[in-house]
Amino acid sequence: MRLLFLLFRPVYYLLYHQLAWTYDFVASIVSLGHWQDWVHSALPYLNGRVLEIGFGPGHLQQFMYGNNLLVFGLDESPQMARQASRRLRKQGAISRLSRGYAQYIPFPGGAFDSVVSTFPSDYIFDPLTLKEIKRVLTPTGRLIILPMAWITGKHPLERLAAGLVRVSGETPGKPWSLSSTLRDRFSPLGFDVHSEIVELKASQVLVIVVEKRKGS
């Protein structure tokens, strides 16, 4: 599976850059129309001032703005930034989007109550990224990561879509698993971490909840 992920990585790069205009279509096809529901499932975990890392085409930005959160965004891709900005302008929303890397977040310490990242690549587990996230979170703030989802429907088309998502590398592992290796990335940095499963129609989403340890 890891080899397949590496083989598909150039395709992911194109989807976030030169082929960003096809991203929504590809995501909808591969997820059998579940993609936006998966992304929106992060909303109940968020509060106050929210930084979304890797905002992509801006669907969660748009949804958070409609739910009266104070929303900011950070993404490396200029193509995605243009898409998200257009989407927010059409909604009449205030765009607070920045271009940059998660390892060097351009915001002051303690600026956010929540940081969220949906279906990110490995950069989200980079110690530099996690240190930066810890820096910009308030003492009671938390990081929400949606790393993977599963199509669980039994219709033949749903089974086919589930297989495509697995092959793409988006859903390694099992819905109930959070490996000790992954947990060990958070603990030395002063984080406590647990996982939850969000049940949706014909699918499941894994949510990783990362909280700053008191006194860390």
Q: Quote the tokens at residue 140.
A: 């009671």
Compute how many other C-beta atoms are within 10 angstroms of the C-beta atom of residue 167: 15
Buried b (16+ CB within 10 A) or exposed e, 30-65: bbbebbebbbbbbbebbeebbbbbbbbbbbbbbbbb
Q: How far is CA 179 from the centre of its chain?
A: 19
- HSE-CB of 1 using CA atoms within 13 angstroms: 11
Q: Domains, the chain, ranges and CATH?
A: 2-212 (3.40.50.150)
Q: Is 185 exposed, middle or buried (0-12, 13-18, 19+ CB in 10 A)?
A: middle
Compute how many other C-beta atoms are within 10 angstroms of the C-beta atom of residue 85: 16
Looking only at Cα atoms, what is the longest distance across the chain?
51
pLDDT in tens, the chain (216 residues): 333 343 345 566 666 666 666 777 667 666 677 788 889 999 999 999 999 999 999 999 999 988 889 999 999 999 989 999 999 999 888 899 999 999 999 999 999 999 999 988 889 999 999 999 999 999 999 999 998 888 775 555 545 545 544 544 444 445 445 666 777 888 889 999 998 999 988 888 889 999 998 876
Cα separation, 1 vs 117, in Å, equals 22
Q: Is the pTM of this model over 0.75?
A: yes
Q: Quote the tokens at residue 127.
A: 């110690």
> Which of 7, 180, 30, 189 shows the shortest CA–CA distance to 119?
30
Q: Quote the tokens at residue 194.
A: 């647990």
Q: Provide CB contacts within 8 A for 202, sequence distance 6+.
A: 34, 151, 152, 153, 155, 158
Q: If residue 141 lies in a helix (H) or strand (E), which one and from where to where?
A: strand 137-151
